[in-house]
Amino acid sequence: MSNSRVFTSELSETVIPKPSMVQEILSLVKIGIVNSNLITTFTGMWLAFHFTGTHFLDSLDIMFLTLVGSSLVIAGSATLNNFIDSDIDPLMERTKSRPTVTGRISGKKVLIIGLALITLGQLFLFMTTITAGVIGLIGVVSYVVIYTMWSKRQHVSNTIVGSVSGAVPPLIGWSAVDSDLGVMAWVLFLIMFIWQPPHFYALAMRRCEEYRAANIPMLPVVKGFKTTKKHILLWVIALLPLPFFLLELGVGFVVFATLLNIGWLILAIKGRNQEDDIKWATKNFVYSINYLTILFVAMVIVTVI
C-alpha cells in the first residue's frame, strides 16, 4: 500500500514539459499545411519548367523565391486564421493547445507575425512574376477574409468557399515560371479544389461534436452523416474525368491517376452501408491525404523518367 502511495505521489509530481517556442511557432503557422501545399506548389512550378523547356538549374532563383514566398504566405495566412479563431479554438480538442489559446504568444504578436510573413512572402512572389503575386494575394484574401472571417461561421458551404484558397498553390508555382496559365495549370487547380470537400468533410465527420460545440456549421453538423457521405461520393465522382485532361503527362500517368480515383470511389460507395461512420470517415481522410501526395509526386516523376 505504501509503495502504491509513493508511486501515485510521484505521478502527481510529474510535470509535463511545455512546448518549446519553436514548436509553438510551428503550431501557429500550421506547418503541416505549409508542407503539404509546398508539394503542390513545387509540382505546378516543375511542370511549368518541363512544358516551357526551361531547365530548373537555370532558374534556381525562381525556385527559391517561389517556394519560400508561397510558404511564407501560407504560414502568414494560417497565423491570421489562428488569430481570428482564438475564441472558438478552446472549444475544439485538436485546436485547444494552440499558442493563441494557451496565451504563450500574445494576440498582438500573432497579428504582427501573420502580417509580416504575408508581406515578405508576397514580396518574394512578386519578384518572380506579377501573376504569381496576384494569385498569392487572391489566396490570402479568399482564406483570411472570405473563408475565415465570413463563411466559416455562417454558411454550410464554408468548405467549398475555403477550397478556393487551398487550390491556388499549383497556380502560384506555375505562374512564377509561366504567366500564361494553360489548361494543365487550371486542371491542377481543379484537382486541388475538388479534392478538398471530400477530404474536409471526412475530417468534419470525425470532429463533428467539436464543430457543433464551436457552433461551426460544417456539413455533418447541419445536414448529418448520411447527407455528408452522399456529398463525399459526388465530389469524388467529379475527380474522375480530370486525369484525361493531363494526357501530355502520358497514358501511364492517366491510367495510374484513374486507378487512384477508382480506389477512392469504391471507398466512398462503401460508405452507404457502413455502420461505423467514424471508422469509414477516418479511412476516407487517410486515403485523401495519401491520394494528393501520391498524385502530385507522380506528376513530377513521369517527367523525369
Res 262 pLDDT > 90? yes
- pLDDT given at position 93: 78
Q: Considering the domain delimited by 186-305, tell me its CATH architecture.
A: Up-down Bundle (1.20)
Q: Which fold has domain 19-181?
A: Tetracycline Repressor; domain 2 (1.10.357)
Report the chain's mean pLDDT, rounded to a whole number: 91
Confidence of residue 275 (pLDDT cuts 50, 70, 90): confident
Sorted by where each begins, the domain ranges of the chain are 19-181, 186-305
Q: Does the fold of domain 186-305 match that of domain 19-181? A: no
Res 12 pLDDT > 60? no
pLDDT digits (tens, 9 = 90+) for 169-206: 999 999 999 999 999 999 999 999 999 999 999 999 99
- pLDDT given at position 17: 61
Res 254 pLDDT > 90? yes
pLDDT digits (tens, 9 = 90+) for 193-246: 999 999 999 999 999 999 999 999 999 999 999 999 999 999 999 999 999 999
Report the 3 state secondary structure along the chain.
Answer: CHHHHHHHHHHHCCCCCCCCHHHHHHHHCCHHHHHHHHHHHHHHHHHHHHHHCCCHHHHHHHHHHHHHHHHHHHHHHHHHHHHHHHHCHHHCCCCCCCHHHHCCCCHHHHHHHHHHHHHHHHHHHHCCCHHHHHHHHHHHHHHHHHHHHHHHHHCCCHHHHHHHHHHCHHHHHHHHHCCCCCHHHHHHHHHHHHHHHHHHHHHHHHCHHHHHHCCCCCHHHHHCHHHHHHHHHHHHHHHCCHHHHCHHHCHHHHHHHHHHHHHHHHHHHHHHHCCCHHHHHHHHHHHHHHHHHHHHHHHHHCCCC
